[in-house]
Amino acid sequence: MIRKELCKIVSQDEIAQDIFELVVEAELVNEISEPGQFVHIRVSNSWDPSLRRPISISSYDKKSKKLTMIYRKEGKGTSLLAKMKPGMDLDILGPLGNGFPVDKVDAGETVLLVGGGIGVPPLHELSNQLKAKGVNVIHILGFQTESAVFYENEFMKNGETFVTTVDGTYGRKGFVTDVMKELTFDSIYTCGPTPMLRAIQQNYQDKKLFLSLEERMGCGVGACFACVCKKADDPQGVSYKKVCSDGPVFRAGEVVI
């Protein structure tokens, strides 16, 4: 069930350049069903900016009711959010969308988690849950440059972790797909920019593959049509899927990307 709640900020830290980790106490953690769901945060009480901002859930703990989110400060809304301090109240709507299906892989399988930039956070809770289930998880985290790298140590706790940077200032120089070519695995879960998702979908049609789309959003609850994408079985037609409510996670080949 989707809830709207005023949540107390526990902490907020800049963990890489313009990347913020925000922890709140929230009853709505009890409603989260899958890793990869997201929330919509109201960043201001005024009408400017009036829309909520979609923010990734990176991990949660139903016992302590802690909800950890990670976002990039890149516009007016997220700049306002970055100024908020522990102890303040935050208006959060969620959990929204579907998540990564943890039940689609079995203990003993080797599963690749591939994240690009701000697509990395939703994979953290997924990694925790797959590891707890006995899945062998391997992570590939892609960033533009060293100052943008975050959560390498958190992922390393669960399994082998490769970091790539486009400019080669940290980890392997190049793209996540370069590392993928060298590895053996059964299934893939991925989240990141569309060109990265498209390349992975094209190159690994023989694998079980789930993709989380980063899409411009408005309402977050299926009402405004800001996030529609075409269904793969009807690319010229009139039927479509909404990323916010039918996704953001889709099976490979389900929608046109």
Q: How far is the CB of 63 from ligand FES (least distance, A)?
A: 31
Instruction: Tell me the one-letter amino acid at 237.
Output: G
Is there binding between residue 224 and ligand FES (CB under 6 A)? yes
Cα separation of 70 and 12, whole Å? 10
CA–CA distance, 160 with 72 (Å, rounded to integer): 25
Taking CB under 6 A as the criterion, the residue among 226, 230, 231, 240 binding ligand FES is 226
Binding residues for ligand FES restricted to 56-75, rule: CB under 6 A = none
If the CB atoms of residues 135 and 227 are measured against ligand FES, the closer one turns out to be 227
CA distances to 1, 115, 231 from 105, rounded to whole Å, are 25, 18, 25
Mark 174-213 with x for binding to ligand FES (rule: CB under 6 A) and - for no binding: ----------------------------------------
Q: How many residues bind ligand FES (CB under 6 A)?
A: 12
| Phi, psi for residue 170 in degrees, rounded to 5 | -155, 145
Stretch that binds ligand FES, among 43-51, 102-110, 188-196, 223-231 (CB under 6 A): 223-231
Tell me if 53 contacts ligand FES by CB under 6 A. no
Is residue 247 involved in binding ligand FES (CB under 6 A)?
no
Q: Does 223 bind ligand FES (CB under 6 A)?
A: yes
Which residues on neighbouring strands pair with residue 61, listed in sequence order? 66
* Residues at the contact surface with ligand FES, assessed by CB under 6 A: 217-220, 222-227, 242, 244
